[in-house]
Structure 1
Amino acid sequence: MRISTANSYDNTVSLLARRQAELAAQQEKIATGKRVQKASDDPVAATLAETAQNRLSRTQADLRVLDNARSSLQQAESGLAESGELIQKVRDLLVSAGNATFGPSEREDIARQLEGLREQMIGVANLKDNAGRTLFGGLGGSATPFVDLYDPSGNGVQFNGQRGQAAAGNTSLPQALDGDAIWMRVPQGNGSFTLSLDAGNTGSVSTSVGEVSDPTALTGDDYRIDFAQVAGVMQYTVTNVTTPAANPMPGQTGVPYTNGMTIEFDGQSLQMNGQPAAGDQVDLVPSTNTDIFSVVEDAIAALRYTGANNSAHRTQELARTITELDAGHDRVLLARGRAGEWLNRGDSLDALMEDRSVDLKTEKSRLEDLDMVQGISDFQTQQLGLEAALKSYAQVQRLSLFQVIN
């Protein structure tokens, strides 16, 4: 079979052009550092690299959301710390207000300080993060979750947010805490029952906040302790006013009273101090929930109370509000501890997703990046081959039959 010289030259030129194109492509890969620049370069690697890129984008988006949540939680934790400090200042003032040597002016000064601290507490409860979101609005619902309605009519603080707490996810944290659960769910009294003096009392009797001596014996009923003078002896009688007949309780009827005595009935015990007058009474009712702002309001009202037997009333109310304040402080500390746990979890999630991002970047690089050492070696080999082909082509092109005919 004979092959024409022209055809041989054409094939050689085509081969040289292809080699030049391959060399240019290899040069481009070295310049970009990418082995796979388009899907046709390696369809399988291109598909897997795109999948890795999508997963990397989602992970980076989760990281941004997590960073925002951590920032909000850090500000919320700082706000809870400030709230705890304010509550402690209120408690210190209430303890000092029990000083028997204080007169109306000193008590009024403390009451005004308490009003200022109460306003600061509301301000903390309405804190917002850097994005303008409320930190203690629960599940949302209001730009100002805690609205102050404090006025002479007795209205206090109202929670206008949405109760509840967003759950933490595998890659996310809640960005707001449930302020209602933190400040608006403080148990009254000792948490089981509340003791209060009748407004018409004229004696100096007051009580402790009481305690539960036998939880299994609690009835959840209302009780009244009445005092009467019988044959020159002060006596007390405990009556269950919830029962239809409201009969005095056996063993607690006409009992002689002594200052500082402790009485116990239906799993409840309390200490009575001071000297009652005939007709005085003490009421005992099951505890409900109050809020930390109302606790401060009650303390302010007790300091400004000017009715009959104001000393006993003030002693009774201050003891109760200090107990409720401690319970409210415990709830703030509990919420702060929970925020700290979430922040620790956020650190773990951040480290986990950062490691995941590194793994995805490594996988993507392995699929589409060029091995520079191998790439340069291939480039030099192709360059050497092209140079040899060009030189050989130049030599062959000069050969002709006419050059050997004499």
Structure 2
Amino acid sequence: MRIATASAYQAAIQNLQDRQLDLTDAQVRLTSGKRVLRASDDPTAAARAERALATTERATVSQRAVESSRTAMTLAESALGDAVGLLQAARESLVAAGNGTYTAAERQGLAQQLQQYRDQLLSIANRQDGAGNYLFAGQGAAGAPFINTPGGVQFTGIGGAVSVASGEVLPATVDGQMTWMSAGTGNGVFETQRTAVSGAAWIDSGRVTDPAQVQGLRYDVTFSVAAGVTTYSVQPRDPGTGTPVGGAITGPYTSGAAIAIDGISFNISGTPADGDEFRILPSEPSLSVFEALDRAIAGLRNGNAIPAEVVQTTTDGLRNVDSVLGRLQSVRSAVGDTLNRIDGVEDRLSSIKLAAQVDRSNAEDLDMVQAISDFQNKQTGYDAVLKTYGTVQRMSLFQYLG
């Protein structure tokens, strides 16, 4: 079979170009560390790598959202810790105000302390995160969510909480309405009130003796004094309309003795006057942190208060501060639980991201040991082709005759 010189040249050049192309491709893959550079290299592996990349990106975005929630909840937990500390200090001031040896001026000094605590609490309630968002704005507010008005502090935000854009429902704010404005009045079941008292008597916070018998009614306690004998009458009423419900119970009054009705009991102490009235109402979730302090401040600033009124002020103040303190501690615990849940979510996202990265690596990454060996083999083959081409190029009649 005759092979023309031109054909031999062409075959050698084609072989050289093919080897050079293979060597260049091997060099590119070795440099990039990728086995699959184009979808055409391995369509199945390319699709698998693309799915893994999408999973990684979703996990990365979710991690950023989770970190945003973590920052907000950390700041909120710190703010609630500061608020709890201030309320505990306010409670100590109220305990001191109950000292019978204190003068009106000293009680007014304690009222000034309570006012400072109250102002600091308002500042905490309007605390922001680093991005200018209010921690306790709930679902949003045009400005500061808590506004100080002549009638007391008002919440201008929207109840609820904003959640971050993540696969998990994680909050970016705390419900300010629930946290600061919705503690239970009284002892959480009912509230005792000193409504119309001209004598020297006061009422405690009461207690539940039998939860199964609690009726959720209003009770009006009226005193009668005749011939030096004091008696009381307790009339149950509908809490909404004030309509009497059943008959009243009566009994002789003894200072400090418990009065019991429908699974609840309370103590009235001191010397009530004829016609003095106390009231027991069902507890409602309407007591704010600021209202609790405002009531105590107003009572302590009354320079003409008689000892019974001072006792009532401190008794009610301690009861109310304990109620709002319990609410803040409960919310703080919930925020702490959220931070723990965020840690769990972060761990799961990290695991998902790592698994996706491993899957992508398995689909498209290069086996470096094998790739180096292949590159060296192709380089050797390319060198051999170059030598062959050099030999073929010298194959001519003129060189032979020479």
Question: Is TM (by shorter chain) over 0.5?
Answer: yes
Rounded to whole Å, the distance in 2 between the matches of 1:220 and 1:226 is: 19
**Range moving further from structure 2, 256-265 or 341-350:** 256-265
Distance 1:10 1:198, change over 3 A: closer
Rounded to whole Å, the distance in 1 between the matches of 2:368 and 2:246 is: 97
Distance 1:44 1:221, change over 3 A: closer
Displacement after TM superposition at 1:271 (Å): 1.2
Counterparts of 1:308-347 in structure 2, within 5 Å, are 310-347=306-343
Displacement after TM superposition at 1:400 (Å): 4.8
Look up the equivalent residue of 1:374 and give its one-letter code: Q
Counterparts of 1:159-170 in structure 2, within 5 Å, are 159-166=155-162, 170=167
Counterparts of 1:7-406 in structure 2, within 5 Å, are 7-149=7-149, 151=150, 155-166=151-162, 170-171=167-168, 173-199=170-196, 201-242=197-238, 244=243, 249-250=248-249, 252=250, 255-288=251-284, 289-306=286-303, 310-400=306-396
Rounded to whole Å, the distance in 1 between the matches of 2:354 and 2:246 is: 77
Rounded to whole Å, the distance in 1 between the matches of 2:257 and 2:31 is: 94
Displacement after TM superposition at 1:327 (Å): 1.7
Give the secondary-structure state (helix, strand or coil) at the position aligned to 1:258. coil
Question: 1:377-403: CA deviations, max 9, x gaps?
Answer: 111111111212222333344345677
Displacement after TM superposition at 1:2 (Å): 3.5
Rounded to whole Å, the distance in 2 between the matches of 1:208 and 1:367 is: 74
Rounded to whole Å, the distance in 1 between the matches of 2:341 and 2:219 is: 48
* Counterpart contact for 2:12–2:392, Cα < 8 Å: no
Distance 1:277 1:10, change over 3 A: same
* Counterpart contact for 1:196–1:316, Cα < 8 Å: no
Displacement after TM superposition at 1:405 (Å): 7.3
Displacement after TM superposition at 1:304 (Å): 1.8
Give the secondary-structure state (helix, strand or coil) at the position aligned to 1:39. coil
Rounded to whole Å, the distance in 2 between the matches of 1:316 and 1:259 is: 15
Distance 1:15 1:291, change over 3 A: same
Rounded to whole Å, the distance in 2 between the matches of 1:235 and 1:62 is: 68
Displacement after TM superposition at 1:229 (Å): 2.3
**Range moving further from structure 2, 108-117 or 241-250:** 241-250
Displacement after TM superposition at 1:306 (Å): 4.5
User: Percent sequence identity over matched residues?
Assistant: 37
Rounded to whole Å, the distance in 2 between the matches of 1:195 and 1:359 is: 61
**Range moving further from structure 2, 221-230 or 288-297:** 221-230
Displacement after TM superposition at 1:247 (Å): 8.0
Rounded to whole Å, the distance in 1 between the matches of 2:367 and 2:95 is: 75
Distance 1:185 1:235, change over 3 A: same
Question: 1:103-132: CA deviations, max 9, x gaps?
Answer: 111011111111110011111111111111
**Range moving further from structure 2, 297-306 or 160-169:** 160-169
Displacement after TM superposition at 1:166 (Å): 4.6
Rounded to whole Å, the distance in 2 between the matches of 1:244 and 1:323 is: 28
* Counterpart contact for 2:9–2:392, Cα < 8 Å: no
Give the secondary-structure state (helix, strand or coil) at the position aligned to 1:357. helix
* Counterpart contact for 1:227–1:277, Cα < 8 Å: yes
Give the secondary-structure state (helix, strand or coil) at the position aligned to 2:82. helix
Displacement after TM superposition at 1:191 (Å): 1.9
Displacement after TM superposition at 1:93 (Å): 0.5
Give the secondary-structure state (helix, strand or coil) at the position aligned to 1:174. coil
Give the secondary-structure state (helix, strand or coil) at the position aligned to 1:129. coil
* Counterpart contact for 2:127–2:134, Cα < 8 Å: yes
Distance 1:6 1:262, change over 3 A: same
Rounded to whole Å, the distance in 1 between the matches of 2:327 and 2:232 is: 37
Give the secondary-structure state (helix, strand or coil) at the position aligned to 1:205. strand
Rounded to whole Å, the distance in 1 between the matches of 2:47 and 2:232 is: 88
Give the secondary-structure state (helix, strand or coil) at the position aligned to 1:378. helix
Structure 1 unaligned residues grouped into runs of 5+: none
* Counterpart contact for 1:133–1:143, Cα < 8 Å: no
Displacement after TM superposition at 1:248 (Å): 5.9
Give the secondary-structure state (helix, strand or coil) at the position aligned to 2:40. helix
Give the secondary-structure state (helix, strand or coil) at the position aligned to 2:278. strand
Give the secondary-structure state (helix, strand or coil) at the position aligned to 1:239. strand
* Counterpart contact for 1:237–1:248, Cα < 8 Å: no
Rounded to whole Å, the distance in 2 between the matches of 1:177 and 1:39 is: 48
